[in-house]
Structure 1
Amino acid sequence: MADLSTKYLGLNLKNPIIAGSSPLTSSLDSLKKCEDAGIGAVVLKSIFEEQIDNDSNSKVSETEEFLTHADAYEFVKNASMDREIDLYLTMLENAKKSLDIPVIASINCKKNGAWIEYANRFIHCGADAIELNHYIIAADIEIEGSSIEKEYFSLVKAARKQIKVPLSLKMGASFSSLANVLRRLDELSIDGVVLFNRFFSPDIDIESMSMVPAQMLSSEDEYTQSLRWTALMSEELRYDICASRGIHSGKTVIKQLLAGAKSVQVCSVLLKEGLTSVSKMTSELESWMDRHEYAHIADFNGKLAQERIADPSSWERSQYMKSILGAQKG
């Protein structure tokens, strides 16, 4: 029988499937259900630094008539922030006491925010690793791409200086030279990246003529972007790659592992099909490994990464006609 155990961020996982940040990882009861379903690790529902700040400011506004003294203002604002953090810390502590699988804390952080303090408090409560989420909409035409990149590097550099547990960055693909960004993150001694985050996207309701949220759940065909970049970079980087977005089946898990991912994060499939999808994916992975006589994931992990295949340029094809002609020749 195939051994599905693996390592990600130096953590021992019984299988490479991680429950990404979602409503399913926002309570102790849900976390227990994820573990019972066979998940390899959990990422707690992200705590949003920006939301905490907004909530704190809202609390201040509600009581501003009583806040004529500066100390009172700071007390109310900090008390509200502390309440949100304390709730998260309580869930984290309880999760560590109740679960046998790794528990990763997630912070969606702003520039020059208080997220470092949050991270250290999470570590004190037993978080096995910290996953940072950071995303900038480059909508200001006066700001050059290099400035955006510098902000990411500054964030990771500050985090690495303070955070002593494994550290990963869940990021998007919107960089002019993603390969260069990933390599420079390696120089900052990060332990892993998650490729890629699924961000909020706006849509338009044409009847009400108002802006509405677009579909937030991924579809089965959205895995190809992370698959390409995992294959392109997995042999180039010291740190681990965790593939994310559009992973709905064991077959897709296998593809990502062949490309060089050390693990995968799933979310939408759990919300769409329920936690029974975990056992379906692990069973498919195990059956495939047995069929191909692989005893361990390490036996095939990265087998189809760019540096290991006969035609490395095939991972870089982006033009429709080149892809069609390549398929016809094959």
Structure 2
Amino acid sequence: MADLSTSYLGLKLKNPLIAGSSPLTASLDNLKRCEDAGLSAVVLKSIFEEQIDVDSDSAVDGAEEYLAHADAYGFVKGASMERHIDAYLTLLEDAKRSLQIPVIASINCRQSGSWIEYANRFAACGADAIELNHYTVAADVEVEGNAIEKEYLSLVKAARKQIKLPLSLKMGPSFSSLANMLRRFDELSIDGVVLFNRFYSPDIDIEKLSLVPAQMLSSKDEYALSLRWTALMSDEVRYDICASTGIYSGSTVIKQLLAGAKAVQLCSVLLKQGLSSVAKIESELAQWMDSHSYSKISDFNGKLAQERMPDPAKWERVQYMKSILDAQKG
């Protein structure tokens, strides 16, 4: 019987399947269901700095007639923010009391400061690790790319200084030199990186002539980008890589592990197909390992990473016309 255990962020996991941050990890009942389904760890639904700011400002607007006192604005805004934090801490504490699997807290923040400091409160409540999400839409034509990169590096540096728990960064691919950024994160002693985040994107309703949210769930064909970058970087950095986006089957999990990922995050497949998909994916992984005489994941983990390939340039080639012609012939 294949041993599916692995290690991610220094955490011992019974298998490489983690529940990524989503509405499915926002309540204790659902977190218990995730554990019962066989997932090896859960990432709590991210606490969003931007949303809390919006809600806090709304609370201030609603109390405008009572804000004549000079300190009232800060009190109302602060109290609203604390309610959100307290609710998150309660969920974290309840999850740690109820679950046997690791619980990873997630912070979606726009800048360093008090939001990083909340990580200490997460640690006090028993979080096993912290996942930091940061995303900047580089829409200001006056801001150069290196300024965005410095912003990311500054945030991670501040987080690493403040956070003693295992720390991962869930990020997007939009950098002029992604490989360089991933190496520089390594220099900041981060423990892991999740490739890649799936951010909110707007769409247009052509009948109402208004903006609407685009499809947030990934499809089963969207794993290629994270697969490539996992393979390119898994032997170049000391931290663990967790693959995300488009992971719907055991075969895709196997590909990510062969590329060098230590674990994968499941999200869209759980929301689309239900938690029963976990057992199916786990079974496919175990059957493949048995059929290839692998007794444990470390026997093949990273076997097809770029540094271990006889022709490593294959992971870098961009032969799109040939690929299109081959697909048409098929």
The TM-score with structure 1 as length reference comes to 0.97
Partner of 2:17: 17
Comparing 109-118 and 50-59, the one that deviates more? 109-118
Correspondence 1:306 to 2:306: yes
Partner of 2:53: 53
Comparing 106-115 and 303-312, the one that deviates more? 106-115
Count of equivalent residues = 327
> What amino acid is aligned across from residue 199 of structure 1 in structure 2?
F
SS in 1 for 2:68: coil
Equivalent pair of 1:204/1:211 in contact (CA under 8 Å): yes
Partner of 1:164: 164
Partner of 2:206: 206
Distance 2:286 2:226 in 1: 22
> What amino acid is aligned across from residue 213 of structure 2 in structure 1?
P
> What amino acid is aligned across from residue 272 of structure 2 in structure 1?
K
Distance 1:162 1:52 in 2: 21
Distance 1:319 1:202 in 2: 30
1:219-238 mapped onto 2 (5 Å cutoff):
219-238=219-238
Equivalent pair of 2:112/2:158 in contact (CA under 8 Å): no
Distance 1:312 1:33 in 2: 41
Identical columns (%):
77
Equivalent pair of 2:117/2:162 in contact (CA under 8 Å): no
Partner of 1:123: 123
Partner of 2:152: 152
Partner of 2:289: 289
Distance 1:188 1:257 in 2: 25
Distance 1:204 1:111 in 2: 29
Correspondence 1:242 to 2:242: yes
Distance 1:323 1:60 in 2: 56
Give how far 1:61 is off. Answer: 0.9
Give how far 1:119 is off. Answer: 1.0
Give how far 1:175 is off. Answer: 0.2
Give how far 1:67 is off. Answer: 1.1
Give how far 1:114 is off. Answer: 2.1
**Deviations 1:44-79 (Å, cap 9, x if unpaired)?**
000001111111111011111111112222211111
Give how far 1:319 is off. Answer: 2.7
List gaps (5 residues or longer) in structure 1: none
4+ residue runs over 4 A deviation: 322-327
> What amino acid is aligned across from residue 152 of structure 2 in structure 1?
Y
Partner of 1:100: 100
> What amino acid is aligned across from residue 36 of structure 1 in structure 2?
D
Distance 1:15 1:22 in 2: 20
List gaps (5 residues or longer) in structure 2: none
Equivalent pair of 2:112/2:159 in contact (CA under 8 Å): no
Distance 1:219 1:325, change over 3 A: closer
Partner of 2:216: 216
Partner of 2:26: 26
Distance 1:178 1:326, change over 3 A: farther
Equivalent pair of 1:317/1:323 in contact (CA under 8 Å): no
Give how far 1:318 is off. Answer: 1.3
Equivalent pair of 1:306/1:312 in contact (CA under 8 Å): yes
SS in 2 for 1:138: coil
**Deviations 1:266-324 (Å, cap 9, x if unpaired)?**
10000000000000000000000000010110000000000111110110011314557
**Deviations 1:175-194 (Å, cap 9, x if unpaired)?**
00000000000000000000
